[in-house]
Chain A
Amino acid sequence: MKRIIQMTVNGEPVELAIEPNRTLLQVLREDLELTGTKHGCGLGDCGACTVILDGAPVNSCLVLAVQANGREVLTIEGLEENGDLHPIQKAFVEKGAIQCGFCTSGMILSAKALLDHNPRPSEIDIRTAISGNLCRCTGYQKIVEAIQAASETMAGSGGDAR
């Protein structure tokens, strides 16, 4: 039986009638056409579907959409502000942290969650924070460099970012 849920996706209120067996990932991709969130395994092993749910990164393939009722979801599409890339996105582009790009959305959101809580992470902090996000192309080095660079930019841009 379908249920009505209301959630906030990338700052916009959304109301949907959905079956309880649909995951948040499916609803984002199929109903809301937010295909930036990727499906890599469906089992919580790869992190490609990472979104930020009420401030915390989660695998959206393991969240029932009905459980997002009343909650706030941030996907990769919601990271830009007024058409400007988020500093992490910008750093990923500039540092060459992207190859096939299929892990990128999840990786960036994990990085955002990290920097929101720990603005000046060490390299080990970064590697630990993104260890739930598998990447098969880059060898992670440029991703780590990009997150480091973003942390510097964000810290340098003044305290109000926090």
Chain B
Amino acid sequence: MQLPRFDLKRPSSFHEAVRLLVEYGNAAKISAGGTDLLPRMKYRIAAPATVISLKRIPVSEPFQDSEGNLHVHALVRLSDAASSNLVRTNAPALADAALAVGSEQIRNMGTLGGNVCLEPRCHYYNQSHAYQFMDPCFKRGGNLCYLVPKGNRCWALACSDTVPALIGLRAAAVVQSGDREYTIPVEELFTGDPVRPLCLGETDLITDIVVPAARPRTAVVFRKLSPRGGIDFATVNCAVMLKLSEDREACEDAIIAIGAVSGKPMRAGQAEKNLLGRKIAPDVIHEAAGRTASEIRPSMRCDCSISYLRKCIESLTQAALETAYQRASSGDGVKPD
């Protein structure tokens, strides 16, 4: 598995990286940890003439600003994000999600920003095509889908573990775009089209993730279902946020985000809305999980059926909501003022 030849650029700042992106345009690819890009390059799914490695850019430790917002550098390694006390205390769902990615070895190279930008995956797409499936599919620039032969779109799955957690946390991405910088909610980063999964401009780079200060009586919980104890991409993952009223009984705010089942992470808007103002009880949680399962539409895939995925979404959401309720009502996850 030989990497194709490429020219390596190693900028020492995001500014410089963006300048290089402007200069090389489509012929360049960004590599943060490399754990997602290099396998695709070995498969010749990606064959950039220039690789812009961000390894030289200094990585700052996670920190909290005066308003309590947590800033995590996009190039922080997943293992560092998972073990950072600050992250673990202020955004345990993010730490859990970071720890759920791949293996120890992957987490020691892979970065938070890289995981947010993870390419959608598919059994057909993620092959070399040297031995079979010769004609390019939509995602490889062709005009067909092997999974849905008569379809007119790509069905690859957005499998990031950290993205649902960040959506649950209402986190935002700070993006360097030319000389300016803007902030966009993580949830709005995704187009839903696996061929062009990110809304970012061609020369935009995520530099930081900002997690808003934890609110009282609020908990965000991440859960993942995967074939094995380690290594795997999620079959389904899920993050829920639950904020309780002052009497800690009713739901004041809720997010249910489901990942790995479609071209972008999905929100269960109806289920969330239905929770608002309701007194949280087992049947309410059960109902919310059921609503989530019926409103999320998992994409077709090779390894399991849609009905199975719905069932998993329901179980996972239920488990996450139960834990979130427990934490929010017991005071866990409440940030001391």
Which residues of A are in contact with B by a Cβ distance under 8 Å? 1, 3, 19-23, 42-45, 47, 50, 53, 56-59, 61-64, 66-67, 110, 113, 127-129, 131-133
Across the interface, do A22 and B39 meet the contact criterion of CB distance under 8 Å? Answer: no
Chain B residues within 8 Å of chain A by Cβ, number: 28
Across the interface, do B230 and A132 meet the contact criterion of CB distance under 8 Å? Answer: yes
With A56-B79, A62-B109 in contact, do A129 and B104 touch (Cβ < 8 Å)? yes
Across the interface, do A63 and B103 meet the contact criterion of CB distance under 8 Å? Answer: no
Across the interface, do A42 and B109 meet the contact criterion of CB distance under 8 Å? Answer: no
Which residues of A lie under 8 Å from residue B39 when comparing CB positions?
42-44, 62
Q: How many A-B residue pairs have CB under 8 A?
A: 83
Hey, what's the 0/1 contact readout for B69-111 against A, CB within 8 Å counting as 1? 0000000000100000000000000000000001111101100
B51 at interface by CB-CB < 8 Å: yes
Closest to B108 in A: A56
Across the interface, do A20 and B228 meet the contact criterion of CB distance under 8 Å? Answer: no
Across the interface, do A57 and B108 meet the contact criterion of CB distance under 8 Å? Answer: yes
Across the interface, do B230 and A131 meet the contact criterion of CB distance under 8 Å? Answer: yes
B184 at interface by CB-CB < 8 Å: no
Across the interface, do A132 and B105 meet the contact criterion of CB distance under 8 Å? Answer: yes
A-B contact pairs, 11 of them (CB 8 A): A21-B2, A23-B38, A44-B103, A44-B106, A61-B38, A110-B105, A127-B229, A128-B230, A129-B104, A132-B106, A132-B231
Across the interface, do A45 and B231 meet the contact criterion of CB distance under 8 Å? Answer: yes
Across the interface, do B8 and A64 meet the contact criterion of CB distance under 8 Å? Answer: yes
Across the interface, do B7 and A1 meet the contact criterion of CB distance under 8 Å? Answer: yes
Tell me which of B3, B104, B230 contacts A21 (CB under 8 A): B3
With A21-B3, A128-B230, A132-B230 in contact, do A62 and B34 touch (Cβ < 8 Å)? yes
B203 at interface by CB-CB < 8 Å: no
Which residues of A lie under 8 Å from residue B102 when comparing CB positions?
44, 132
With A47-B103, A56-B79, A59-B106 given, can you name 7 additional A-B contacts, CB distance below 8 Å? A61-B38, A64-B34, A67-B34, A110-B104, A131-B229, A132-B102, A132-B103
Q: Which of B3-28 contact A (CB under 8 A)?
A: 3-8
B134 at interface by CB-CB < 8 Å: no
**Within the assembled complex, what's the spacing in Å between the Cα atoms of A14 and B231?**
32
With A20-B51, A62-B39, A128-B229 in contact, do A57 and B104 touch (Cβ < 8 Å)? yes
Hey, what's the 0/1 contact readout for B105-124 against A, CB within 8 Å counting as 1? 11011000000000000000
Closest to B79 in A: A56
